Amino acid sequence: MNKTQGSVNRAFTLIELLVVIAIIAILAAILFPVFAQAKLAAKKAASLSNVKETGLAEIMYQGDYDDYFALYLSGKYGNLGCPTATDCADGLAQPSDSWVGLTEPYIKNFGIFVDPGVQDYNGYVAGANSWHYTQARRAQYGYNYLFLSPFWQCSTALARSSSVGVHPSTTVMFTTSQSFTTGPFEGWFGSNAPGAWPIIDPAPNACIWWDGTTGSGNWSANNGSVGKITSSTRAIKPYGGAVVVWVDGHAKFMNDGALAAGTDYGSAAYNNASSGAVINNINNYLWTLDGTTNDLGL
């Protein structure tokens, strides 16, 4: 006579469940940082691609305009962002544009001017609050305007030919930017060159941006506080450095110290006599177009 043994249902014990949960927690603790790093690496790669596309648009612009760099400003700064003359303050002055508007037709996508690691926090470039005025000023990649299109008398910009570039592969064209000490999540359309402030400050014609805070117009490694940053070194540094596209069109990631080569950035304090870094080796400097600082003393 055969006997069939009934099946036995066995549940997990509390100890077994706790062990499984502990293993999952350990795996999550290991994998989540890896996922976060992978996500950040993807944003960094996208940012590098964006700045390269910005540089290529600039080069295409040069091809249509006798090899001249795009103007930093196409008219008076006070009229920047006016879609039409009647929208300008006096109702008569001609509207002006920044390099953003001049090169955008070669890209047809304002989202290219947004750093994915920072994002368009206030929607000024490609978001809900974007319009001609904010887009012209708040691009998150800044132009090396001091050397490529000097800011003449704090009003307009001068045109320079790319043919005078003596080291196009090691001259900055665009790099990471922000709105000085006041807007770490906002871009600014010009990046201040390290060490330029001491030369520009007494100059009768060329101008440089700052926000009224000591040190905000220059670079310094010993910045005293997170707020003491410049338009080229973000307080918010998702990648630990900056993406750069050079005059010849190639793009590269650089840390702040490397990008400030040829200056005393590493030892400069934001509130020293020169309010930051000083150029001490022009041969290693990565911002000048013609190998001199002549444009800074216009």
- pTM of the model as a whole: 0.85
Q: For 24-53, what is each residue's pLDDT tens digit?
A: 888 777 766 766 677 888 899 999 999 999
Classify residue 29 as exposed, middle or buried by CB count within 10 Å of its CB (0-12, 13-18, 19+): exposed
Give the residue, 81 or 99, on which the prediction is more confident: 99
> Quick check: 197 pLDDT over 70?
yes
**Average pLDDT score, the chain:** 85
Q: How far is CA 110 from CA 125, 157, 278, in A?
A: 6, 22, 35
Residue 183 banded pLDDT, cuts 50, 70, 90:
confident
Q: Is the pLDDT of residue 182 over 80?
A: no
Decide if pLDDT at 241 tops 50: yes
Q: Residue 124 above 70 pLDDT?
A: yes
Contact 102, 74 (CB under 8 A): yes
Q: What is the mean pLDDT of residues 67-74?
A: 94
Residue 227: pLDDT band with limits 50, 70, 90 = very low
Q: What is the mean pLDDT of residues 14-27?
A: 81
256 in Cβ contact with 241 (< 8 Å): yes
Q: Do residues 115 and 121 make contact, with C-beta atoms less than 8 angstroms apart? A: no
Question: Does residue 110 carry a pLDDT above 50?
Answer: yes
Per-residue HEC secondary structure of 90-149 comes to: CCCCCCECEHHHHHHHHCCCHHHHCCCCCCCCCCCCCCCCCCHHHHHHCCCEEECHHHHC
Give residue 81's pLDDT: 79
Work out the pLDDT band at 224, boundaries 50, 70, 90. low
Residue 233 pLDDT > 60: no
> Using CA atoms, how far apart are residues 238 and 254, in angstroms rounded to an integer?
13
Close Cβ partners of 158 (under 8 Å, ≥ 6 residues apart)? 149, 150, 152, 298
- The confidence score (pLDDT) of residue 274 equals 86
Hey, which residues does 252 pair with through a beta bridge?
244
pLDDT value at residue 25: 83
